[in-house]
């Protein structure tokens, strides 16, 4: 998945948008231009939801996605933690069908698997582990390939009636309640592309999660240097407190961190900006213009 190319393609279709709007809409509708040109110049959720739910748009999707168990699985995935086994269990989909279902979705370009990089708890069979981790299992995550697929299964498909008309009231209520979940996740993905642009040599860049915590970004840059990143797609500035929290998480998970990077929509507190640290990188929304 080349998200930078996708972002550039979105800009090509909607060059009239202000940059902040371009980012905002991309985080929900990136990939929609493959199906339909959305009226984003006058974004109103009611009209837009109606446009997206048109049967002509839905018919362009692989129709098996609306059948079980695919439909329920993808709807569950859209607003949960994305871990493979957890998603199947929450959607009440048999784990015995896991490999076949995931293969079908991958081959149709709907999802991809993001693999866990966590080290096994046991390095040898008789090694003892702490009681609280005895039932812990390392899980990969399922990711949608585009923001638009994610948007569809979070806010359109769950509220389609049997005749494929949309319950717009419930769809908009869900969007108001959970839209930040989608925008935050895809802001993380877009931030990975900015890291790849900002460093000459990026050999690895992925999300990282382990039994202790989760990190938005963990990247190997500039020949065996490691960067830990955190992304905040909110209007609230990031403060020094957030830096201290992230450093504590890094220490607990015992990650290497030659650089710490923040990616913020709302900017930074003066206290954080005044810190004189060569290893602290502060990216603003304007920095994402480099990807166009």
Domains defined along the chain, listed by start: 3-118+137-179 (1.10.10), 199-291 (3.40.1350.10)
Q: Are strands 259-264 and 225-232 parallel, antiparallel or unpaired?
A: parallel
Task: Count the helices and strands in the chain (H runs, E runs).
Answer: 11, 7
3-state secondary structure of 141: strand
Q: Give the pLDDT of residue 37.
A: 80
Q: State mean pLDDT over 76-92.
A: 94
Q: Give the pLDDT of residue 40.
A: 78
Q: Cis before residue 69, ω within 30 degrees of 0?
A: yes
pTM of the predicted protein model? 0.92
Q: State mean pLDDT over 145-168.
A: 93
Q: Look at residue 127 and tell me whether its pLDDT is greater than 70.
A: no
Q: Give the pLDDT of residue 147.
A: 96
| Residue 67 falls in which region: left (phi positive, over 0), alpha (psi -120 to 50) or beta | beta
Q: Look at residue 56 and tell me whether its pLDDT is greater than 90.
A: no
More confident residue, 192 or 48: 192
Mean confidence (pLDDT) of the chain:
90
Q: Look at residue 165 and tell me whether its pLDDT is greater than 70.
A: yes
More confident residue, 260 or 223: 260
**Per-residue pLDDT reduced to its tens digit, 210-256:** 989 999 999 999 888 999 999 999 999 999 999 999 999 999 999 99
Highest average pLDDT, of 161-165, 174-178, 223-227, comes from 174-178
Q: Look at residue 203 and tell me whether its pLDDT is greater than 70.
A: yes
Q: Look at residue 152 and tell me whether its pLDDT is greater than 90.
A: yes
Q: Look at residue 49 and tell me whether its pLDDT is greater than 90.
A: no
More confident residue, 151 or 127: 151
3-state secondary structure of 228: strand
Strand partners, 142: 113
Rounded (10°) CA dihedral 79, 73, 109, 159: -60
């Amino acid at each position: 998945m080349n998200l930078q190319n996708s972002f550039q393609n979105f800009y090509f279709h909607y060059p009239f948008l202000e940059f902040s709007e371009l980012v905002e809409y991309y985080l929900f509708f990136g990939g929609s231009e493959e199906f339909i040109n959305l009226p984003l110049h006058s974004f109103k959720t009611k009209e837009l939801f109606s446009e997206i739910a048109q049967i002509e748009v839905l018919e362009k999707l692989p129709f098996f996605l609306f059948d079980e168990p695919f439909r329920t699985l993808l709807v569950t995935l859209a607003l949960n933690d994305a871990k493979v086994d957890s998603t199947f269990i929450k959607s009440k989909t048999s784990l015995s069908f896991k490999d076949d279902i995931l293969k079908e979705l991958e081959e149709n370009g709907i999802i991809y698997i993001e693999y866990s990089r966590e080290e096994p708890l046991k390095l040898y069979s008789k090694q003892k582990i702490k009681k609280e981790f005895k039932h812990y299992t390392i899980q990969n995550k399922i990711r949608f390939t585009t923001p638009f697929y994610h948007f569809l299964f979070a806010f359109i498909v769950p509220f389609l009636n049997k005749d494929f008309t949309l319950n717009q009231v419930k769809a908009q209520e869900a969007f108001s309640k959970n839209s930040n979940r989608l925008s935050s996740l895809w802001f993380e993905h877009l931030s990975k592309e900015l890291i790849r642009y900002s460093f000459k040599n990026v050999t690895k860049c992925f999300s990282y999660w382990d039994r202790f915590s989760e990190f938005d970004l963990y990247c190997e840059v500039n020949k065996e240097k490691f960067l830990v990143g955190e992304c905040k797609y909110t209007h609230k500035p990031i403060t020094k407190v957030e830096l201290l929290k992230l450093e504590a998480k890094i220490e607990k998970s015992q990650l290497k961190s030659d650089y710490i990077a923040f990616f913020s929509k709302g900017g930074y507190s003066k206290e954080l900006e005044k810190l004189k640290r060569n290893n602290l990188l502060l990216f603003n929304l304007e920095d994402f213009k480099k990807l166009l």
